[in-house]
Structure 1
Amino acid sequence: MRLHRLDITAFGPFGDSQTVDFDELSAAGLFLLHGATGAGKTSVLDAVCYALYGSVPGARQNGGQGATLRSDHAAPGTRTSVTLELTVAGRRLEITRQPPWERPKKRGTGTTLDKAQSWLRERDAASGTWKDLSRSHQEIGEEITQLLGMSREQFCQVVLLPQGDFARFLRADAEARGKLLGRLFDTRRFADVEKRLAERRRAAEARVRDGDTDLLADAHRMQQAAGDVMELPELAPGEPGLADAVLSAAAVARSTAREQLAVARCRLAAAESAQAAADRALDDVRERDRLQRRFAEARERAARLEERAGDHREAQARMERARRAEAVAPALELRDAADAEHRRAAGAEARARALLPASLAGEGAAGLAAAARRAAEELGGLESARRAERRLAELLEERAGLERQERADEEVLHDAESWLAHWEGTRAVLQARIDSAQQATTRAEQLAVQRDPARQRLAAARQRDRLAADTEDARRKALASAERAAKAREHWLDLKEQRLSGIAAELAAGLTDGAPCAVCGATEHPAPARRVDGHVDREAEERALADHQRAEEQRAEDERRLGVVREALAAAGAEAGDTPTGRLADEVEELEARYAEARAAASVLHAAQEELRRAEHEHGLRVAAQREAAVRAAARVGHRDRLDRERAALEEELDRARGTATSVTARAEQLERSVTRLTDAADAARAAEDAAQRLKDADARLADAAFRAGFDTPQAAADALLDDTAHRELQRRLDARQQEEAAVRAVLAEPETAAAARQAPADLASARRAAEEAARRVREAASACDAADRRCAELDRLSARAAASVRRLGPLREEYDRVARMAGLTAGTSADNERRMRLESYVLAARLEQVAAAATVRLHRMSSGRYTLVHSDDRTGRGRSGLGLHVVDAWTGRERDTATLSGGETFFASLALALGLADVVTDEAGGVRLDTLFIDEGFGSLDDQTLDEVLDVLDSLRERDRSVGIVSHVADLRRRVHAQLEVVKGRSGSVLRQRGIG
């Protein structure tokens, strides 16, 4: 990083605009920034830091930064502004920052607040012009931080070297040093590792405790299942040995339960044998009781049969009469059928005669038939009148149709006139809709042309954002490759130096007595050099050189890839511009919404045109309908007159045919009803005469059949008959009596039943009680056996579950032990960590060791080889170790704490430490080259000789075109350093005076 120009306006003590030309100051390599106390020397450095990071260093930064940075000497209308031009990572940039400004209103009184502004521009070397990159505070900050590879705190420690801070660092304790180094090297990730390991240890411990708790819960369940005879281990969850103790107790409980199960099964077998004997005795008693009750029931049934013997004989006699009456049954059925038919025929005749006129009520069947023929002849003569009546109905319907057509035509004319009255307004509305849709179509076409560029710009912005992340990854890879290449080169040079140191031994290996030496030419070799352990030969050096070349090739490839990504990022940025992606997305979304709105408005064009076409078609139809209705009205007049004349003729003919009836049809219906009634009455009279004759014949046949069957009268035969149900019931009773007598005789004849009846009565209750008692004993034994079986099964299940839990807990315990060891080791509490050094302290100790080594190189020159800074990881008191810093005095050969240095010694030791820290942090940031450094104060405590040595060291920093700015008010430095930037304070504010090397 090299500074070129700094422009300051209304900033800090500077009321007017001031400019610093760092290119002129840096030409001498070493320049002096001096001025009276309070003039504003530090404000120049603050302006540099503010331009880069948007904030000032350290304690000078606060929340009201805009008001604090603004100069009290500035005019009300002058805005505070800082512009810095610099080169970093091969790019020449210009950064402008303006803090918030409360300015006077342009019109009226009072003030208004302008927001903070920032600009980032890059110079195009080919065209010699400046190109805007960004106006976003956040984007500019991220870009500068990425290019420098340092945060604001690191920049203030590395570029703006504050000597007072490092003097305090030399005297500080380990905790204070740790805080400073932690900010510079950002070791929070290692603290996060410690925290993460502690959290994992607590989580693993919690899982182990939870597993042990579940295991103890299963142990308690096994204790309950075993009947509280199981002894549980007196161990808490998490204690070692708990799993083995639970498994051992479970094994004892299972063995005891199996013994109890064997005893219960033996008791059950004995109880089942006793139950079988009691059941057999109960079956014998039940069988004897059944036979005795069977014999007694048979005796009772025989007695009841004897009592009902008279009823049985009466039923047999009734069955005999019924069999004789069955011979008369056909005659009875025939007479009943004839009687029923006669009654039906007489009723039908009476009903038919009731419908006839009084003059025909007494006529016989022949007279009624003759009257029916006369009425049928009259009915046939009405056919012509019926045709005339149908024609008259048709005429009336046709006349009604003409009236309906007339009303319909009137409605058509009215609708057409009403519709045509609004036609012009309707056509104007539809035409307006078409015009609006056509305008929307034009607007949609215009927006469509704007959509593609907006979309392409949004895609480029998104690609720009992605390439920014890819650029960061490529930069990190390039930095890592550069670091590896530097290490490989350093390793190769170390091996080369070692080989050169031992080259005498390598040459001595080829010496032969009498042959001249390749170096001195002597032929005698009294004491040739010998190879020592660790000697580096040519092969090792060549391997190191090959590794170095491969690392350089990889570094070049990674830098080439970084250049490609940066070019793609620049192309995407050029296409997308500085507008944020979110804003471009909003613009595209708004454009899409407007386009969709225009498309939606334009989409109704076809519908509107179609609706106008339909309306015009409807207009033509309405006009045509109006004309056709007028033509039909004129044609209906003559047709109506013809229909009226034909109607009058038909009505005269029908008046003659109807007679007294209301119509020809009514007269025909009257005649049809008379024919039907007369015909039915004649048929009914003939049927009644025939039925009477058949009834007389049936009475004669029935009397003859009853006499032959042995009955005095036909009624006696009818009374003796039984219907099917009564006959079946009587036969069933007779059969049941016969079966009952046979069954009683069979039971009384059984030898077992008779033998059982002669024995003593069976004691069924005693036998049942004995069987129930035996069954109760079996149930108790079975219940005890089932309980023992369930206990064994439950203990087996819980034991298997506990064993599975123990197997699952095994990896958890191993993980917990491993994580606990790692957490204790990183936290410095483990016994394996002898120095009680935390992981973050260990990393910071390595960084401090690097800083001490880099500082010693310059401290040697400043102290004429007297002092050396060394890192110490010894413990101090009861605290932890890792961040000790000692100084070795070559004059005394003793090592002492840096807090014992004098004032002057502390200055150049802190300066050496600051420069060493700058080197280490620069390497940590990826090897970013720092071509401009500032060293703030502390030179007044040095004597002339030490000051010369310090200036020699600072002058050596100019190597490779590096410039160093000394911030001091020591008068002697003005004589020694020719390039100067003086800050002169006055009543109207400070001003800058620059003097170059000339």
Structure 2
Amino acid sequence: MRLHRLRITAFGPFGTTQDIDFDELSADGLFLLHGPTGAGKTSVLDAVCYALYGSVPGPRQGSGQGATLRSDHARPDTRTEVRLELTVAGRRLEITRQPPWERPKKRGTGTTTDKAQSWLREHVPGEAAGAAGTWKDLSRSHQEIGEEVTQLLGMSKEQFCQVVLLPQGDFARFLRADAEARGKLLGRLFDTRRFAAVEQRLAERRRAAEAQVREADAALLADAHRMQQAAGAGPGEAGAELPLPDAEPGDPGLAEAVLAWAAVARSGARERHTVARSALARAESARAAAAAALDDVRELARLQRRFADAQERAARLEERAADHRDVLARMEQARKAEAVAPALALRADTDTDHRRATAAEAHARGRLPAAYADEGAAGLASAARKASEELGGLASARRAEHRLGELSAQRADLDRQERADEDLLQEAEGWLADWDGTRTRLQQDIEAAQEAATRTEHLAGQLKADQERLDAARRRDRLTGQAATAGERALAAREHAARAHEHWLGLKERRLAGIAAELAAHLVDGAPCAVCGATDHPVPARKAEGHVDRATEEAALAAHRRAEEAAQTAAREHADVRAELAAATAAASDTPAAELAASVAELRQAYDTARDRAAGQHAVRETLARAEREHDRRVTAQQEAARRVDSRAALRDALERERTGLAQELAHARGGCASVAERAAQLERGAALLTEAADAARAADDTAKRLKDADARLADAAFRAGFDTPAAAAAALLDDARHRELQHRVDAWQQEEAAVRALLAEPDAAAAARRPAAPLAAAEAAAEAADRRARAAASGCDAADRRRADLDRLSARSAAAARRLAPLRAEYDRVTRLATLAAGTSADNERKMRLESYVLAARLEQVAAAATARLLRMSSGRYTLVHSADRTGRGRSGLGLHVVDAWTGRERDTATLSGGETFFASLALALGLADVVTDEAGGVRLDTLFIDEGFGTLDDQSLDEVLDVLDSLRERDRSVGIVSHVADLRRRVHAQLEVVKGREGSVVRQRGAG
């Protein structure tokens, strides 16, 4: 893959269109991408990644990517666009991508959102030699373009960002990371998710198989508990519960133990069932005999009670004989009085009607004037007719009075309308008088707000730039003190390391000087000397005062190494602080922070003032629009009110003439009343009262005549029925309830008398009465005891039969469950062995290494071998990267990475490397990983690489060695881009792409190798 051209428009910090010619930059094979911090160096690489994959690397991507990628410096009508021309797999392609864009509407105000767009074109060479060729459209689908690019490159976006855009800082962290963090990075690059998926799938199958086995075991054990409950001895039975085997769900021998236990339980249940059936037969025979004896005793007792009850009832009838004769006499008197009942009812109804009519007449006469107190019914009716005739003559006067009221209401309404129009005209005149001044003032406010908005935009750019300089100045001031402190610590650490080194060398020389005495200390007579081999030791050397032994020397060596490591750590910290200080100084120059803070505060105050004034622009415009609408409304209302005043005078004159004529007509019709309606109501009330009184007088006269006739008829009916007076006849009458009560008493007495005679005449009852009293309690007790014994025996037999049937059924179900469980347990054992082996927890897995870790370890070994080829050259043959399979954490093998130091011959962890050594190792690791991932992706040739930062930690000699290695990368027409702001690289690398930032956005400046 080779990059040719890149065009960036309104992307990231680039507010305008920027063109980058990678062919010119790559002419010498090595080019430098530099610029101040925050200028947009990384945005150039983001644009390349966005063109290829439609998203930017790492944390810079977001959910609202269109808004994230768009430059804040771009004009509102300029759309964000990235266009990349490249050659991959022998094909020259052009990819154009535009993220979603919120643009101003072409008509009206507001904004609208355009969707994201993508184009893919391929260059077709001309047929004739030297022809320019044409571009052919391939696709405008985001998904198709993404699939095409991924297939041609053979890499995902994550792999591309690690291989082509080498993030050297990430690999420095990779060197110091633990096995788990390395595994995550390698798994993302080499896509080992399928191996992790195999582990997860095996674990899921193991859990599923285990759940099935435990579920089947639990069901089998539940059936065993049911059988244990069913096998328990019933009431009155001999036997006891059989204990279940001591087993839990999941135990291999559970099924065999349960089946064996079930066979024993079934045998015992059958024996208990046979015993229970024999006991039931005996109890049934005893219960039948007791029941027959009880029936005989109950029959004797029933006949004796029957005869005794008949005698008691005969005695009670004799006691009530006198009362029975009185009831018969009373019913006879009532029968005679029934002939007088119609006359009594008629007289009572007539008396009630007369009383009611008399009261109504008195009430009606009491409401009439005193002049009608002695008038009869005829006189009252005549007076009512006269009042009705006078009332009929007032109909026309009522209509005139109603019309007069309408005229008064219309006149009052005209007065209200006239007053409202006068108020409206006065208010409109007053408001319109101030209109010109109000409109002028609002227009001036709008112009002032517009000027404030323009000044706000200008001040915002100045404030952002000055704020960045202020932040950089504060970091510069803070880092100045930290750099001095770090320098002092580094110098002290170097001096301490030098003293520790000198001390160790001195002790080593002293030990070598007295090494003979140290060897002589181990000589034994007769044993050969380790140096000369002699067995005689006549004059062995003696240790001098202050002799240095081996332990002392090794302690000094360890102290020297600790001091050296501390010095290297302090140097790295000092270099990091100096790099940050240089970046902050470049951004803030030498301007004091206090001066910058005062400038920022002044700008912020001016910006806030202008922004507040500009924020009121919309409100002032709305106020002016409302005022203009109010002006139009008031002018229209003023004109309409003037027209209504002119037309209202003629209507008022016509109403006044009509009102005068109606008033004269009504003066005669009202009489002495206030209105015609009042006069008509008076006549209506009088006519109604007179009519009511006449009707009441006639009804009272009629009821008096009927009452006299009813009295005569009642006296005659009482005499004929044999009563002295009507009152005596009335007293002899019985109501229906009382008559039914007496008749019921007579019927009951007669029925009871017949029943008693029949009972006393029965021969069986009389014979039973002559026998001794029946022993009913003893017979019932004996029958109840026999029945209890039979029920208990039947219950025991039924329980024994149910236990036998339940045990047979549960045993059959347990046997079937055991047969189904066998293949499940075999499957569980097989899957468990595979899952634990892949997860690294099996005893067969000696290194305790997971399947994914095993694959990643092989990849890491390949990466370490590829990285060592370049690390040896960078470190002058000193360092070699090797993969380590040592066990870490929880006894499992991890993804260890060690470095072998050829100077000491020792192997140590990569986390112990110094700053410069870490850069060497991380760069070599990044390049090696790029080679391995490229081979993994299908061997696609990568002709353009980018290396990001890290060069500031190198001295001149180390930088030369690194550049030599990078020179080797550009062999065979490969180009390498270095992303850095190290000043020394600008002198060493001639082809440069500089990113310059400014208040209007960043721009690029390109310089070729020539």
Shorter-chain TM-score bucket reads: 0.3 to 0.5
